[in-house]
């Protein structure tokens, strides 16, 4: 059975959201790099890379299901944050938005009997739990008032990609 057109559309749009998240984190990395906060910058460069991998995971899922995805337009991201707290707070907000997007897709999957998409969507929901937790810790750190250079010793490690639960597309 094919993936329903409703879920196909949502998944394809999500490729764009993940690419936009990639851009957003690149801009965040630039914000920190410009201030010689290289540990913070490295954290967000890695985070950006993860978002790109997310977009590819969905893209390959669609290809494996005989759907040729289009590549959506992505949002421009400028490193225009008032301060580091705002930069991290915007990451927290962005992750929460993505979580609601996957929750909505999981609801569609159940509605449309798209059972083959459920493991993929559950993988992403698990991923979102971890990313929200990581960004939350980062916000606590930056809001603590600690010197941002010293804070680099306490940056949460970006979690290992738990991609094993859903086999990678070849």
> Which stretches of the chain bind Fe ion, using CB under 5 A?
18, 51, 54, 131
CB distance 8 to 118 below 8 Å: no
To the nearest whole angstrom, how small is the minimum distance from the Cβ of residue 4 to Fe ion? 22
Give the relative orientation of helices 38-64 and 5-33 as an angle to the nearest 10 degrees.
160
Count of Cβ atoms closer than 10 Å to residue 30 Cβ: 16
CB distance 53 to 161 below 8 Å: yes
Residue 144 CB-density burial (10 A; 0-12 exposed, 13-18 middle, 19+ buried): exposed
To the nearest whole angstrom, how small is the minimum distance from the Cβ of residue 17 to Fe ion? 8
Residue closer to Fe ion by CB (options 2, 96) is 96
CB distance 121 to 114 below 8 Å: no
Give residue number: closest CB to Fe ion.
Answer: 54
- Among 130, 129, 124, CA closest to 156: 130
To the nearest whole angstrom, how small is the minimum distance from the Cβ of residue 66 to Fe ion? 24
Residue closer to Fe ion by CB (options 39, 158) is 158
Residue closer to Fe ion by CB (options 36, 159) is 159
Residue closer to Fe ion by CB (options 22, 84) is 22
CB distance 109 to 118 below 8 Å: yes
To the nearest whole angstrom, how small is the minimum distance from the Cβ of residue 102 to Fe ion? 9
To the nearest whole angstrom, how small is the minimum distance from the Cβ of residue 76 to Fe ion? 18
Rg of the chain over all Cα atoms, to the nearest angstrom: 17
Residue closer to Fe ion by CB (options 51, 114) is 51
Q: 28: which DSSP letter? A: H
């Amino acid at each position: 059975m094919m993936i329903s057109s409703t879920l196909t559309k949502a998944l394809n749009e999500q490729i764009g959201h993940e690419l936009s998240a990639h851009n957003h984190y690149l801009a965040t990395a630039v914000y920190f790099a410009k201030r010689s906060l290289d540990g913070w910058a490295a954290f967000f460069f890695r985070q950006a890379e993860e978002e790109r991998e997310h977009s590819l995971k969905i893209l390959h899922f669609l290809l494996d299901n005989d759907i040729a995805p289009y590549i959506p337009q992505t949002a421009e991201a400028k490193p225009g944050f008032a301060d580091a707290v705002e930069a991290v707070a915007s990451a927290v907000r962005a992750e929460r938005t993505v979580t609601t997007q996957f929750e909505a897709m999981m609801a569609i999957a159940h509605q449309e009997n798209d059972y083959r998409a459920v493991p993929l969507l559950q993988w992403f929901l698990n991923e979102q739990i971890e990313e929200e937790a990581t960004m939350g810790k980062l916000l606590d750190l930056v809001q603590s008032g600690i010197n941002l250079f010293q804070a680099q010793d306490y940056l949460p490690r970006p979690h290992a990609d738990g991609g094993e639960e859903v086999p990678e597309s070849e």
